[in-house]
Structure 1
């Protein structure tokens, strides 16, 4: 008999479990996969570190700074900017405040007109001073938000649209304008990067903290149901004995939450990531690259030489290139021929000799965030049953961690537990 069973060892579940264990509760975490992390997993394949899809970690996320020792992750940081394939070659746009000497080059690229620069500032500035709740008061789709700000030129069509398509996992501009502004704020304040040991280092650290405070992890054990058992909750374990607890937190991904709770399945957006290896990188820059020549050119929404930022992602003498495509529900996935053709156009080089290491199709990569943006949902689901996950907050690492914190606070309040321990 446990005080709490947390179902799911993703970021939300691990953060929740760690906080509950810190307060002296008997906590068991049960996870169907063979390791913690949920969608934040890293595999070693032929000496390469492959995250489950292209990931970035933004140290500007407040919940991340509260949860994780960032220094111990040995983060490699991507440059704050983007390189854009145009009809005339490759142009670079960098953060104008951090790289003021790049402003002239940005203007000469033809991608930043004075009108666009003013419109972008008009669109983004409120996010630097207003909380998300204020930004979402009069929310609308991102495309309409850009229209209202007067952002219609090449900075939008050649840079922001392809860049944010990979971030939001959709390219139609249907995502909440408030949420997109929030993400741009985090990009402006932080330097996204990756841990030297891969994105899995984040959940592994959360799990280590939770274990140190007494939480027990049960991996490789799926859950088929939760049900009331007198004054307790019974968690039915597939091919195993059930667990009993006074309270249960359901912290599974958007693909599984409906089966355990009866809640409507959250809408999701999908992403596909291709991992290629080569001895010679196509370029010396670590900037993320997008195709700014207009829609319909090819399936790749962004590509980057990972090893220019995190050399530990490849064996010595080798480089790792990631290429990300959208993976719409009900639509055909991109094939290797089209991906290679498009990569060759973006990088301006022959990619036929690149070795394909793996392709990741993440159907439920991110919860959809259409306008108007829903406020963070209460974790209370039923008596003594709570729900956590980025689908209950914002579609990000920040949202997952914040949702786990909210579930823990609510459970402790309901249990009448105050203070730092017990």
Structure 2
């Protein structure tokens, strides 16, 4: 039997689906990817509006992600790196803190900042040292507790948690109580500490575009919605039926599998709003944090503080809102502009685009780093991928896609020896 005769379909052309296709191609197969939208990327997309690159939500690549290092060519992505720190807007003041061991320019501002106590700053060094020694495997084998209780147990002051950890990690976890697993906190903190946060010069969508361009024998069917999946069969929304030997679902499977309908995932949501402004209040490529308890804004970032391929001469500002308090779009934008003026000193902002992202990150318990190929198998011929299998991260999406493809290959071993 010829490998090309095997009908292998991947549902979803997000990061996980593209990695699954990559692994299948590496083993001589030619999968077909079925994608509901007009392009690859899933939740990782960039729009061009008003001469600016607008990512769908404020997203970054952590360069230390092992799977990203394995599958991406960082050099051709032309990664632009953030500084390892943050600017915090509080009580009418802006203070910058960061890791002076990784960037000496942050030393003085960090030492004099009133964010946290001197003891807190020593504890950050202690935490850095602890997580450098701890392997990823050890992190995900450790007991789980909330990030908030982890930080409290570590001895950080309430002030430090409220002024830095809450706004910073709420913007990553997309929930503002720090209920997210301590495993995820340690993993993300370790990745930040050992690498850097970065964005491709052309925007976050360059990541899935690169993965797509590396594929040579995969077919992608765009604008093709799937309504149901059974063993050996894919039903499309237009009534067509596709026969398939193996199916990898690289998106939320409960939509398509009848007996999974009652297992639909819960998701964290967020809003990202883009504005054009005349001047930057944060000169360096640092994220801006808003620790104000009742503020809508969680964080701000000037995308033009990094080199971008497109730039119309104006500064581009993104605002992330973790809890929109169920405000209408117009009220949300107006309140955010008011807060930008009152909390950040940004007096003139022109609205460009609002992204409401109801499914930003999956809410998961018992977070895992790895999964075996056999564990991705749902039925004899259906396999599951996507970050929903492990933890909400680009790294997890890649690993899950790889393992699902290897699960299919394990099933085919008897045929191709």
TM-score (normalizing by structure 1): 0.90
Aligned equivalent of 2:380: 383
Cα distance 1:313–1:242, how it changes in 2: closer, same or farther (>3 A)? same
Aligned equivalent of 1:365: 360
Measured in 1, the distance between the counterparts of 2:147 and 2:61 equals: 23
Matched, 1:179 2:184: yes
Aligned equivalent of 1:151: 156
Say if 2:92 and 2:343, in contact at 8 Å, map to a contact too. no
Say if 1:412 and 1:418, in contact at 8 Å, map to a contact too. no
Offset at residue 29 of structure 1 (A): 0.4
Cα distance 1:159–1:14, how it changes in 2: closer, same or farther (>3 A)? same
Aligned equivalent of 2:42: 38
Larger CA deviation: 7-16 vs 378-387: 378-387
3-state secondary structure, aligned to 1:312: coil
Measured in 2, the distance between the counterparts of 1:147 and 1:282 equals: 32
Q: Deviations over 1:230-249 (max 9, x none)?
A: xxx11112226322221100
3-state secondary structure, aligned to 1:44: strand
Q: Deviations over 1:56-106 (max 9, x none)?
A: 112111111111111101111111110011225111112121124533431
Larger CA deviation: 67-76 vs 8-17: 67-76
Measured in 2, the distance between the counterparts of 1:124 and 1:156 equals: 16
3-state secondary structure, aligned to 1:356: strand
Measured in 2, the distance between the counterparts of 1:120 and 1:258 equals: 41
Offset at residue 314 of structure 1 (A): 2.8
Measured in 2, the distance between the counterparts of 1:85 and 1:278 equals: 18
Q: How does 1:251-290 map to 2 (within 5 A)?
A: 251-252=250-251, 254=252, 257-261=253-257, 262-263=259-260, 264-290=263-289
Say if 1:198 and 1:313, in contact at 8 Å, map to a contact too. no
Say if 2:80 and 2:198, in contact at 8 Å, map to a contact too. yes
3-state secondary structure, aligned to 1:270: strand
Measured in 1, the distance between the counterparts of 2:85 and 2:47 equals: 28
Q: 2:407 aligns with which of 394, 404, 410?
A: 410
Offset at residue 157 of structure 1 (A): 1.4
Cα distance 1:223–1:163, how it changes in 2: closer, same or farther (>3 A)? same
Measured in 2, the distance between the counterparts of 1:366 and 1:61 equals: 17
Say if 1:78 and 1:193, in contact at 8 Å, map to a contact too. yes
Q: 5+ unaligned residues in a row in structure 1: which ranges?
A: none
Say if 1:307 and 1:313, in contact at 8 Å, map to a contact too. no
Larger CA deviation: 388-397 vs 98-107: 98-107
Q: 5+ unaligned residues in a row in structure 2: which ranges?
A: none
Query: What is the alpha-carbon root mean square deviation over aligned residues?
Result: 2.2
Aligned equivalent of 1:349: 346
Q: How does 1:107-122 map to 2 (within 5 A)?
A: 107-122=111-126
Q: Deviations over 1:322-377 (max 9, x none)?
A: 0000147x9446711210111123321313xx22111001011011245x435645
Measured in 1, the distance between the counterparts of 2:414 and 2:78 equals: 36
Measured in 2, the distance between the counterparts of 1:306 and 1:412 equals: 42
Offset at residue 108 of structure 1 (A): 1.3
Q: Deviations over 1:225-282 (max 9, x none)?
A: 1123xxxx11112226322221100001x4xx21113431222111110001133333
Aligned residues: 404
Measured in 1, the distance between the counterparts of 2:369 and 2:104 equals: 37
